[in-house]
Amino acid sequence: MFKIAKFITTDLLKNKVMLLYLIFLWVACFGLFSLQGQGDKALTGILNVSLLVTPMLCLIFATIYFYNMYEFMMLLHAQPIKRNTLFIALYLSLSLVFTLIYFLGAGIPLLFMNPGKASILMIVGTSFLNFIFIAIALGVAVWTKDKSKGMGFSLLIWVYFVLLFDGIILLLMYNFSDYPIEKFVLYISFLNPVDLMRILVLMQTEASALMGYSGAIFQKVFTQNWGISIILLVMLVWTVLPLGLSLKAYNKKDL
């Protein structure tokens, strides 16, 4: 598995998309810190960029990469290599490379320009998002052999988690405002790792108003340390569950 992971990792690091992603993160981070001046404002700007770009790039790139590697994977399957070994090697290579690029492009500037708990949690939370959305992307690619259909589903997943989910919560709050549904809204926030990432970081700053309604309820119900522990635990579940389902689908797939 390590030889396969090493080969895939080397191939990914040579990819121009990774270089462009690194440059984009550097420009965004240093640009926001230069323009904003204040740590919390720049941190909030970088958070918004990370929440928009990271899931989208993970979903799209991982889906395309799986389709492009399909013939190579079929060649490897002709060898005495287990499906689990190959799939996990591909998943770990993609996840670790994306995490490395984010750390180099945004993590180092954050730790240098705004050292503190919020910056560390942003790096940790974004790393979780990398692992989560790459697992989802691979699951979509395994589910359908049609490249255009896989890309379409990946984009729909990104739109749902990043854009539609908060709109659905607001719609629920508007229609059921006469009922005590605060805890229900809190539990719904567990269904979106992007929202959890936003709450995780903004709990450490003075920009608590930007957490949204579900975030405000979360901060009210849980203390800061308990909240961090719960968010990290739920994001761990979000990492394991899509990976397990994708791996199961790949093992049953007719290659």
Tens of pLDDT along the chain (255 residues)? 778 888 888 989 888 999 999 999 999 888 888 876 666 778 888 888 999 999 999 999 999 999 998 888 888 777 777 888 889 999 999 999 999 999 999 999 888 888 888 889 999 999 999 999 999 999 999 998 888 899 999 999 999 998 898 888 778 777 776 666 667 777 788 899 998 888 888 777 766 555 555 556 666 665 567 778 888 999 999 999 999 999 998 988 776
The pLDDT, as a whole number, for residue 177 is 67
pLDDT at 196: 86
Classify residue 253 by its DSSP letter. S
pLDDT score recorded for residue 165: 87
Secondary structure class of 233 (helix, strand, coil): helix
**Rounded (10°) CA dihedral 45, 46, 48, 49:** 120
pTM of the model: 0.90
Q: What is the CA radius of gyration of the chain?
A: 19
Domain ranges for the chain: 2-252
Nearest to 47 by CA among 223, 196, 250: 196
Query: CB-based burial of residue 108 (10 Å sphere; 0-12 exposed, 13-18 middle, 19+ buried)?
Result: middle
CA–CA gap between residue 210 and residue 203 (Å, rounded): 10
Tokens standing for 124? 């940790």
End-to-end CA distance of the chain: 20
So what's the pLDDT on residue 246? 92
As a whole number of angstroms, the distance between CA 164 and CA 193 comes to: 13
Please enumerate, as own/partner, the contacts of 130-133 that have beta carbons within 8 Å and a separation of 24 or more: 130/54, 130/58, 130/95, 130/98, 130/99, 130/102, 131/95, 131/99, 131/239, 131/243, 132/193, 132/235, 132/238, 132/239, 132/242, 133/54, 133/55, 133/58, 133/59, 133/62
In angstroms, the CA 109 to CA 34 distance is: 12
The predicted pLDDT at position 5 comes to 85
